[in-house]
Amino acid sequence: MKLKDKVFVVTGAGSGMGRELVLQLVAKGARVAAVDVNAATLDETLALLKDNSVLCSKHLLNIADKDGVAHLPQMVIDAHGSVDAIINNAGIIQPFVRVNDLSFEAIHKVMDINFFGLLAMTKAFLPLLLKRPEAHIVNVSSMGGFLPVPGQSVYGASKAAVKLLTEGLYAELRETNVHVSVVFPGAINTNITANSGVHMELPKGAEASDYKTLSATRAAEIILNGIEKNQLRIYVGSDSTFMNFLYRVAPTFATNFIAKKMKGLLG
């Protein structure tokens, strides 16, 4: 789908990949409804657009609020006149602990935002998207959505649910005008840990620089390129691409490989 002159709704627009998606979409001639739960960071995103901020509307919303999500489509229509695509990017991780040590409060929070919030967004906007000449639904899963990561098992379960939901949507909508993409980011340099309210200590003697990450700018470029090509699966980062291959070829080896890599973080 061509991006120019289209109206996109982007969740998690206040930072990280969401912010970069907003900036790059506007730079490519699209209009954007920027959605985030954090008013301050959302304002920062709009400020970065400078004179182009007129192409972007601001919507303060927690996507776990189903009633709020239900009212969002009309707010976007009021601001832009139409809506052509949604990018369900907002998400959080869980505390870095084993399932046995994870509270149900934390479990529900992760599932409510990562899966049920995304599902609510999809159901709220899909009736409008089906009426457009061409439309797109983009759901951000994770490398952890196809590969088990110890200490992020519930987060991975939420992202695996996003993966299968999106692939199911693709099957249901393949004869319609609505394109569907699922995104699998690997390690991306964002502040998702802080935004999730999670404190993570590096292993003794380790530095943050020891963990290679892809910039949010490059991640957004890959995602938008995949949207323009109507790709069903968009792998973001060499780690995501490689681990997808390895997990398909040798799933047990890949699981043990990741478990050893994460051992220092999990303890």
Active site residue 155: yes
Catalytic-labelled residue, pool 155, 211, 235, 247: 155
DSSP annotation string for 45-108: HHHHHGGGGGGEEEEE--TT-HHHHHHHHHHHHHHHS---EEEE----PPPSS-GGG--HHHHH
- Tokens for 111? 């599932």
206 close to 265: Cβ distance less than 8 angstroms: no
Task: Tell me which long-range contacts 120-124 makes (C-beta under 8 A, separation of at least 24).
Answer: 120/63, 120/66, 120/69, 120/70, 121/9, 121/11, 121/63, 121/69, 121/72, 121/86, 121/88, 122/86, 122/88, 122/165, 122/169, 124/69, 124/70, 124/72, 124/73
- Tokens for 203? 């292993």
- Tokens for 22? 């907003």
Which residues form the catalytic set? 155
